[in-house]
Every structure is written in C-alpha cells, then in structure tokens.
Amino acid sequence: MKLEIGKIVIRDIQFSDITKIDQGILHINKEEMIAELSTDMRIKSIDLDIAKPGEDVRIIPVKDVIEPRVKVAGSGGIFPGMISPVDTVGSGRTHALKGMAVVTTGRIVGFQEGIIDMSGEGARYTPFSKLINLVITCEPIDKIDAHEHEEAVRMIGLKAATWLGMLGKDLEPDELLTYETKPLLEQVAQYPELPKVVYVYMLQSQGLLHDTYVYGVDVKKIIPSIIYPTEVFDGAILSGNCVSACDKNPTYVHQNHPIIEDLYALHGKEYNFLGVVITNENVYLADKKRSSDMTAKLVEFMGADAVIISEEGFGNPDADLVMNCNKISAKGIMTVLMTDEYAGQDGASQSLADSTPAGDAVVTGGNANQLIVLKPMKKVIGHPEAAHKIAGGHQGSLREDGSIEAEIQLITGSTSEVGFHNLSAKGY
C-alpha cells in the first residue's frame, strides 16, 4: 500500500462567523459546530474552548486527543467502521491538519483519565501542550451508564475531527510525505540483503473502559492480525479507553505513530520494514496464551529477523508483553521491548509486574510514579475536582490554591510506551 499524507499547518484557531481555513488560520463558527455535534441524546450540553501553547490553561479530565484528517483519494474514509463505512484504508492520499488537535473533556468517565497543562511544569511532560487545542466539553445526562458515557464522548470527538478535517480536503498541503509497504513477498524481495523487521503493536483491550477499536471492532474480540502500517496512519485504529493517562495511546498517537514513522525513516537503508502485527491485551490467562502464540506464529511466518514490541498500560498487560517476548525470542528472533515503569515515587520498587531474562533489550518511557506539583491555572476547562480521583492523584491532590500534587501518571502522554512524549535520559 502507498499512502500520501498532506500536511496542512494550522498556525492559529479563532472563533468566527464562518468556518474555514484561511492562510493557516482555522476559523470556527462556534454555534454551527455545536449544532453539528449536538445530536446525541446522551449528552446534555456541549461547549467549545480554544487552548493555546503557553496559556495559563488546564484541561481536566482529558478523554481523547484526535487530529482532524480527511481522505482525498483512495478507498475508504477517516475512522472506518466508526464514522466512515467499513472499507480498507491506507492507500491514496489523506490530508491532516497539523499543529492542532481536538481534545474531549467533561464529567469524568473513568478514574484513569488525564490532564493537559498548556504552561508550567505540567506542560513539559505532555506533548499535547505544544498543540493548539480545540477543547470540546461534553456533559452527559444524569445517571448515564459509564460505557454509554464513554461511547457518546468518543463519537463526538471523532465527528468533530472529521468535520474539521473536511475543511482541508481541497487545500494545497504545506508538505507531502509518502509511505509505502508492498505485499509481503514483494517487500522481502525488494531489499533481500537487509535485516527484516516487524513491529508488534499491543493494543489495550482489558474491557472495563479499557478498549481500543480496529475498523470499528473492539480489539478484545480479534485474534492477532497482520496489517499495513499505512492503515494505522489512516485512522483504522482509534482509542476508546480510559486507562492511565501517562501511557495511554490517544487516537492522535495512533494517527501519528512514532515507532512506525521511525521504522519508515530507515526502511530500505538499515533494514527492511515488513509490516505490523496487531495483538490485544487480554485479562484471562487462556486468552493471553492464545494471542501470544498467534503473534509469535505470525512474526515467524513473515520471516522477521528482529521485532519491536510495545505495550499499552501496565500491570496485567506486562504479562502479555513478557509472553510475546518469550515466544518470539524462542524462535530465534531478536526482540526490543518498549514499556514504562511503575517503580514507586522513590524509584526503588520493581518496575514491571512481570519480567523475563529474554527481555534483555528494553526501552523505558519513564517512571509514572514520579511526584510532581502542578501550578494553579487562571483558567480550567472541565472539572478540577477530578484530580482527587484520577489515577496518579489522591484525595487531597487538588489544593485550595488550585495547584495539584500528584504523580506524573495523571499527565496525558507523560510516559508514552511508544515514545510519543517529552521525557529523555541523561547520562552521568
């Protein structure tokens, strides 16, 4: 599959009388957009705010972050199986509105949601503080079921990103990038002298608001599958989970997946990037065994020499990560693991819930238990009291002056297990 991504850089967002993109400025008719999104009877009210880098603004609790995109050429549409009909995506041309995102918030859905600070110490830990964010506050009706609440907010975010993405359909992009992965036998033959690399992409699927969707299907209902990397860029995978904010992959991260982008960067130069195996993170042991068996089988079937494996979440999924590592390594295939750590606030505890001697090449996204104090903000979009409930916080996290004492676990993207974050290591 061959996919072109046309980048349309958004330099500012303003509320206006007409909705359009003009010279890099996204103008939004606020009333028109609210009317467009106000079709779900499970949502009582919708409001829009703009949060810009450097502003004294806090967004809490964050449900999802989404980049507006639109299909310009090729089969299917954005978010197939959710917004668009179920057609295979990943080919043709897609335009993306860069430098901005749609962020959904409102009354807390699940305790593992997050915070985005647009300035201060908290902004240093989240990559989304660098974006111009259109924040949609979705307040549900009373006594709504948590799963209904999650679905309603998720769909509003996807609809908003699709509606805004359409504005870029006929614009000339500022930059055009091309990604291509050929059918497997052709891909292997193209660079026979280079090591063959596969990416094993573990997707959160534990249920209890811990869900991810592929072509509209809940991932806990799938068996591991081979997909083209370009399908990921085209919205085939999206977030529906409320897991700890620090290592959750919002939809924006799936759309701009850094591991896949990096693998493409050196494809044909240092290695032959064959493709992606998606797999789930199940709760029961039998399901974990089934998925890890099949993942190892697919990687072997593809003829991989080396594999990168990333997980999403922590604790229970650590067992899936270790199973995948053990079974792939046993086939003589080199593995590199990507995870983060929950090593206690002093960093002295065991980092993962499971481990293996085969896991001898590991990249960490940082310690999610690291303690931080977030400054008070002049403007809070959402519900600041959620800081008492969000994973990483505690009763008393929100102080009287509006500051928050908590672990970086509650900052969206702070310890990303696919590397979509700002933390780095420093040698001594």
DSSP string, 362-406: EEEEEETT-EEEEPP-SEEEE-GGGGGTSBTB-TT-B-TTS-EEE
Rounded to a whole number, what is the distance in angstroms from the first to the last CA of the chain? 45
Given the DSSP bridges, would you call strands 272-281 and 306-310 parallel, antiparallel or unpaired?
unpaired
Q: Is 242 a catalytic residue?
A: yes
Burial class (CB in 10 A: 0-12, 13-18, 19+), 346: exposed
Q: How far apart are CA 307 and CA 334, in angstroms?
A: 6
Burial class (CB in 10 A: 0-12, 13-18, 19+), 284: exposed
| Sole residue written with tokens 């104090």 | 373
Q: How far apart are CA 351 and CA 361, in angstroms?
A: 15
Q: How far apart are CA 248 and CA 409, in angstroms?
A: 10
Spatial CA neighbour of 43 closest among 111, 104, 110, 134 = 104
Angle of helix 285-302 versus helix 316-329 axis, rounded to 10: 40
Long-range contacts of the stretch 83-88 (C-beta < 8 A, 24+):
83/158, 83/159, 83/162, 86/215, 86/216, 88/231
Q: How far apart are CA 294 and CA 151, in angstroms?
A: 30
Q: What φ, ψ does residue 169 adopt, rounded to 5°? A: -60, -40
Q: How far apart are CA 262 and CA 181, in angstroms?
A: 14
* Residue among 138, 242, 246, 325 flagged as catalytic: 242
HSE, CB side, 13 Å, CA atoms: give it for residue 400. 0
Q: How far apart are CA 215 and CA 86, in angstroms?
A: 7
Q: Residues with catalytic annotation?
A: 242
